[in-house]
Structure 1
Amino acid sequence: MHVPPLPWHAIYPVPQSAAAGIRREKLLQWFRLDKQAGRDFFLVDLRRTDFEGGTIRGSVNLPVQTLYPAIPTIYSLLIQSPVKEVVWYCGSSEGRGKRAAKTRLRSLVLEGGIKGWAAAGKEYTDFMDNYNASVWTK
């Protein structure tokens, strides 16, 4: 009898509390106010397909299935920095984004994820690195 493999998240703890959401309009406003990812906030792309179709400017790609072992190191670095907010996102930010958002820093989950960001129009895609429209129009 074939037993299907467990999903990636089965070995990790379930988040104990829900993280606050951040609307894409608010994140776009941060960029327009000259806030910078990496300096004023930390932006994490949790997708496994790395930067397929582009990523929001300044994001660090940390696929969620490899994130948990790295969390202590990431948090110790961030706590020593001026960064006060971490914005997590994945495709829709309904699964991986919410699972990763448990932190001592102010954790925010990008509502609608990268899909919502890319679908919101040119004012959003202008703030994407390596944007590839064909990926988002499938």
Structure 2
Amino acid sequence: MKRVFKLGILLGFIFSLCTAAQAAPTACKINGAVTDSISGEAIPFVTIGIENNEGKVLSRIASDALGKFTITASSGQNYRLVVSSVGYGTKYVDISLSENEKNKDLGTIKLTESSELSEVTVVAQKPLIKSDIDKITYDM
């Protein structure tokens, strides 16, 4: 009777390990490079984010000095890659990963320069109360 009980526990443990291994999604490495659309030069330290279908950011990284990046996501799902850098417009790339895909090469992603501002207005307000060591001053 003890042998049957031990065998049942062992088979249950093996079965649970097998189902857990099958249910775990595989990770896919998504890589690419970011360049300027006009000059073709690499843009260093670009912010790369990956979002799910609901727009929730799953991961955010920075590219290297040559504009190259590698980000990891679960296979078998759809994502949106958000590529942004200061002075450039934000670019969105929709990605669809198959079930057993291990690597996805996006190639070169080209960013265009954003338009410059014609005028900037800085608005500041003086504080109403100024606190010094020995006194409090109210500014009318």
Between Structure 1 and Structure 2, the one with more helix by share is 1
Larger Rg: 2
Q: Which has the higher contact order (CA 8 A, sep 6+)?
A: 1
Q: Shared fold by TM > 0.5?
A: no
TM-score normalised by structure 2 residue count: 0.23
Between Structure 1 and Structure 2, the one with more strand by share is 2
